[in-house]
Amino acid sequence: MRGFSRNVVVYLLLFAIVFGVAFFFGNGGNGKEATVTQTEVELSKFISYLERDMIKEVEVTNTLVTGKIDEKTYVYCYVPSAYEIAILDEDYFFPMAKEGKLVYSSTKPETGSFWLSLIPNVLMIGAMIFLLYIMMNGAGNGKAFQFAKSRARQVKGEKTNFNDVAGLEEEKVELMEVVDFLKNPGKYREVGARIPKGILLVGPPGTGKTYISRATAGEANVPFFTISGSDFVEMFVGVGASRVRDLFNDAKKNAPCIVFIDEIDAVGRKRGSGIGGGHDEREQTLNQLLVEMDGFEENSGIIVIAATNRPDVLDPALLRPGRFDRQIVIGLPDVRGREAIIRVHSRNKPLDPDVTPEILARRTMGFTPADLENVLNEAALITARRNGRYIRMEEIEEAIRKVQMGPQKKSKVVSDEEKRLTAYHEAGHAVVSRALPKHMEVHEVTIIPRGLAGGYTMYLPEDDNLFETKQEMFNHVVVSMGGRVAEKLKLDDISIGASGDIKQATSIATDMVTKYGFSSELGNVNYGGDGEVFLGAELATHKAYSEQTAAKIDEEIRRIINDATELAEKILTENDDILERVAQALLLLETIDGEQFENLFTGKVTPEELKEERDRLDSEKRKKNQQEAEETEKILEEKAEIERRNAEAALEEDGIDVRERE
């Protein structure tokens, strides 16, 4: 091994000599020197002028670079080598010339004979072949390309801490114990306490599992090793196990530390599942991971944190005490959590005073922290497109709709007949939901296509309900059937637009009968069954009931949907005038908000009055947007003027007179 190290030093010296010779020959011939009258500056100052867009033309002759600032002002500098010229070409001259910011010309250096010019190329090719030969000979021990080394990325001095994490207060309390142990391990050793070696974070995608892991390392101020489960598994058997060993060796050298394995289900799936075949490489990697977690001593200062959204597929040996013996569920944030998350992600965003995080938290039920961050980012992009200075509530509302449903398709050609059908359909949903007790209030109704939907009715929940009652679930079925019933009553026909509503109603009714025991005839029995992990749910579902019971289940589901359809038809028949008002308003305005719908439902306004009010508000909005855009443009012009004055001041400091220009 020592002899090999000496050989490597010799090879590097030879390569340096060859490269120096090639560099000398490649840089021969200095060409003609420029003789124009100009001010000499250092290379760093010349680059500074380029970055400020002060230089308009550049001419390169060999290693002399001349820049034209205006008709009377020139600067020049000498660049050490042609290699530096190439760097300037790639980083500044070519990109700026392509963007039209710079006029660039170059005079190629004078060259010697053809055979002399071939010498550096031949030497370089020979050196590359020689080094490649050495590397291939050294690849026999499997270490030349570090193929079996761990791909974990080590982060020291993580700046994220628990103050940057919102909506996970209970989870932070659980992890604070780990932080305290990493800071004060002696306190736990004295009382004989055993800190968990592994902590498994379980939750849907985007809930902040990776983020809170980074915050834990930042709070404890310890090294943070991060790797994905898929980085262990390769085509070659044994590579994953080798990477696991290398990862834990690095962790032991840097203890105390945190090892974070994201998507651990990629390597920690159940072994010997039978159907579907095995995976030797993945199973060997899992075995090695189990051995390594048993290998390091308790309270050694190494904490393994893993994240997954599929805990049901993990191997039981991975979850036993002594390995991942603590599970922390990172679920969807509640309304208070969403409000705190919105406040965190809006710290660096200029929000309009009318934006209230409390209303946004109610409006975004079911959103993950990643969704909320995406919503605020989309709102900022929309604001920038209209040249606005502040993010208003309407931009955030549009961002929420875009995230949920997709972008608006105002350019899509929709016939008058389709608009009329969609208007009655969505009006049917809205009127039925308003007439039912214990249902969410209407937030917005529109017939503008968005995503795959021709229109939609959006609701605003009062709070987050952990449990739904039988009546509330039945009301959802009634509202789902309201669109189909409205089409039948008003158009004397039905369309395929209600297919999604029927699917949703059938799913809710099926859960009511088979999961929650809401059927008086079938009783409190769960007929759902349990599906296998590695097979399709329908294929592997075990039916724990007879064919007669299956027929009763079908009949009960059909009865619930029929009862809901009859109730929706009764509501719309009794409120026919309201249905007509809402539909006509949709045809005139295309979109109405919750307040406008409430006024239409109670008869306070007519569709025509709403249209007049909307036109007035739109006119005021256009004027406000134009005024804000003009103010933004004025601010940008002032900033540009300040930058121009600073550039002139920098030139004057270098002794270049720029005050008298034609």
The residues annotated with a catalytic role in the active site are 426
Buried b / exposed e along 72-95 (16+ C-beta atoms within 10 A): ebbbbbebeebeebeebeeebbee
340 contacts 208 by C-beta, under 8 angstroms: no
> Nearest Cα to 162, choosing from 144, 150, 180, 146?
180
Q: Could you tell me the strand order of the sheet in which 57-61 lies?
A: 39-40, 73-78, 64-70, 57-61, 103-107
Q: Is 105 in contact with 94 (CB distance < 8 Å)?
A: no
Report d(CA 283, CA 240) in Å as an integer.
9
Listed residue (199, 191, 263) closest to 233, CA to CA = 263
436 contacts 478 by C-beta, under 8 angstroms:
yes
Comparing C-alpha atoms, which of 254, 262, 264, 249 is closest to residue 296?
A: 249
Q: Are 459 and 594 in contact (CB under 8 A)?
A: no
Cα distance from N-terminal residue to C-terminal residue, the chain:
72
Q: Is 321 left (phi over 0), alpha (psi -120 to 50) or beta?
A: beta
Written as six digits, the tokens of 349 are 């965003």
Q: Which two tokens stand for residue 395?
A: 């931009």
Q: Is 564 exposed, middle or buried (0-12, 13-18, 19+ CB in 10 A)?
A: buried
Enumerate the H helices of 59-168 as residue ranges.
82-88, 94-98, 114-137
